[in-house]
Amino acid sequence: MKRIIVMAWAALLICLAAIAPAQASFEAIGPFSVESRDNGTFVLTDGIGRRIHLVPRGQKPPPGVEEKNLVRIPVKSVATDSWRDTSLFLALDAIDKVKAVTGKPEEWIIPQIRDGLHNGSIVSLGQRHGMDYEQLVKIKPDVFFTWDESMIPMLDELGIATVVTNTDLARDLDTQIRFVRYLAPFFGSFKQADQYVAKVRAVLEDIKAKANGVAAKPKVIWGDVYSKRVLVEPGNSWAAQIVQAAGGNYLFNDVAGDTCLEIALERFYSSGCEADMMITYRTPRQGMATKARMKATNITIAGIKPLSVGKVFYPLQHYSQSADKLDEILVDLAAMIHPELYPGFELRYFVEMPED
């Protein structure tokens, strides 16, 4: 009899556990955060520290929450001015929710966005620095994802909920990998986010394992050369951290700040003279097609090693719209740093810059 009673209690506890609401949880994703509550709502902190409330459709929002900080979930329509965020919607199976973007069709590599702009199912909002707010009002998206916090006053006035997905500091590698978990609550795409994170982390661990046994560490810089200034990826960026993880020695590791950070020409030259390899965002599309052209652009840095006996790599056009393929991008970078560990590997997102 006692055994029967114990078993009955156990069965009851299992049933109660099954129907009990999920407990609230909190996850920090770099400077961003996601707080899930047991009533199905979420409170997110965006890139400038604003608290965004995600509330299921038909459910009453918490008292005191302003409309500008309220998003109904799951969202049905999204507007965005970010290539990176848009490509992550692919990983979340949510690309069909995008109804408005900045840029022309020919600027988009993602087929669903390019085709949507052509057939009118997606609206162009003009260029990033000259957005067509009238079109945005017509679309009236559930949420607008932006990298530019200066747009918030106008979007608040228009009554459009806005999420800033950039911060004053460059994203580190962990944040770059887990940012899909920040976006997932908007769409209910938690399974897809977890699968993405697991896939990228598995690739990262494989890269680290391969590089673990390599003694020589190529010296690497990542920066952009202009006529009167130079920009670099700081040591706190995901770009610098993958160089380190892949068995490279990142020479701007002591520099901290936002992505594409301006530093003194003298410092760039000093580190550049030691570097075996340079990675740059400057491409033939910006008129930077060869090493010779880069030397001519800024004669102060013309003598750095990658522009003579070293290598320079730049990203192909689809790179900036491929955040959903972060695992493949990381492998490209690892193969650039230690090609001997990836025999026969063909780069998919980068290409080596020719001499002339």
Indicate the domain borders of the chain. 22-187, 212-352
DSSP code for 20? S
pLDDT recorded at residue 6: 36
Q: Strand 78-80 relative to strand 98-101: parallel, antiparallel, unpaired?
A: parallel
Position 104, amino acid: K
Rounded to 5 degrees, what angle do the CA atoms 135, 137, 139 make?
A: 70
DSSP code for 50? -
Q: Strand 219-225 relative to strand 277-279: parallel, antiparallel, unpaired?
A: parallel
Question: d(Cα 281, Cα 13) in Å, to the nearest integer?
Answer: 57
Structure tokens given for 230: 């130079």
Position 277, amino acid: M
Q: Do domains 22-187 and 212-352 have the same CATH topology?
A: yes
Question: d(Cα 105, Cα 126) in Å, to the nearest integer?
Answer: 11
Domain topology for 22-187: Rossmann fold (3.40.50)
Q: What pTM value is reported for the model?
A: 0.91
> Distance from CA of residue 102 to its chain's centroid?
17
Domain spanning 212-352: which superfamily?
Nitrogenase molybdenum iron protein domain (3.40.50.1980)
pLDDT recorded at residue 23: 52
Structure tokens given for 331: 């492998």
Residue 168: Cβ within 10 Å count = 10
> For residue 54, what are the β-bridge partners?
42, 71
What does each C-alpha distance from 44 to 56, 143, 162, 164, 262 come to in angstroms? Answer: 14, 13, 12, 11, 31
Question: d(Cα 116, Cα 119) in Å, to the nearest integer?
Answer: 5
List average pLDDT for each run of 10 residues in the chain, which is 356 residues long. 41 39 78 96 97 97 92 98 97 98 95 97 88 92 95 92 96 98 98 98 98 94 97 98 98 96 98 98 95 97 97 97 98 98 97 96
